[in-house]
Amino acid sequence: MILAIDTASRALSIALGDSRGVAFAAHQMRSRGQAENLMPMIERGFLATGFSADDLKGLAVTVGPGTFTGLRIGLAAARAMRVALGIPLLGMTALEVLAAGAARRFPDRPVLAALDARRDQVYAQMFRRAVPPFAECWSAPLAVSAKDAAMMAVPGTVLAGNGAALVAPHVEGETVVLDTVEPDARDLLLLAVARPLPSWPIPAPGPLYLRAPDAKLPTRR
């Protein structure tokens, strides 16, 4: 049994399952309150499935890019459970999870995963068509302008994520726009189940920050 956690973007989601499928999943759109609601959501998952934390064989968490506060919440919870339970923790990017969800719906198309990074930028990564749940990387994750992100797309690309609408006007040729989707722990779980978990006690994954935070400490004079 694996617990997957995503708090990287504007949603809070978890999923519990194994190679047989998803046993429980919950997904909430939240601009705040992720810290207060994450553990109660996990408890609901255990109650609904009849499993407990002691049944977990591994954990998976999105490491970014995304909101700085959201990333810290998910990673802190996953790291704490990793230490308390002595089980491996797998980290994956939010863009890879987005691409996996899009590949599941459109397995014959390339995917450009894009999250709104504000400051007139998006976090973007291009993936080639692949058999779900995997999507093969064509580029590294980047923080770029929507116009520059569009240059990675080819005709027929699926634009996935809350940054897709920003990229779409700059793409030439036919596209599929999935601009209301967020990284989902169900897709993270499917990826984690299909991959070998890291051996214990490999160090826990860290956050993927593609740029400096908006908030800065005041400089001393």
For residue range 95-153, list pLDDT tens digits in order.
999 999 998 889 889 999 999 998 889 999 999 876 666 677 888 999 999 999 999 99
pLDDT, tens digit (0-9, with 9 covering 90-100), for 24-40: 999 998 767 788 999 99
One domain, residues 31 and 53:
yes
Range of the domain at 155: 94-178
pLDDT, tens digit (0-9, with 9 covering 90-100), for 190-208: 999 988 888 777 788 999 9
One domain, residues 113 and 80:
no
Q: Is the pLDDT of residue 94 over 60?
A: yes
Residues pairing with 59 in the sheet: 3, 89
One domain, residues 82 and 133:
no
Per the listing, tokens 């998976």 go with 60
Instruction: Return d(Cα 8, Cα 72) in angstroms, integer.
Output: 9
Within-domain flag for 121: yes
Asked if 7 and 70 touch (Cβ cutoff 8 Å), the reply is: yes
One domain, residues 113 and 140:
yes
- 10 compared with 4, residue with greater pLDDT: 4
One domain, residues 85 and 61:
yes
Q: What is the pLDDT of residue 221?
A: 53
Within-domain flag for 49: yes
One domain, residues 7 and 89:
yes
Q: Give the count of domains, the chain.
A: 2
Q: What is the pLDDT of residue 186?
A: 96
- Could you give the count of Cα atoms lying within 13 Å of 109 in the half-sphere of its Cβ? 22
pTM of the model: 0.90
pLDDT, tens digit (0-9, with 9 covering 90-100), for 151-171: 999 999 999 999 999 999 999
Within-domain flag for 155: yes
Q: What is the CATH number of the domain that holds 59?
A: 3.30.420.40
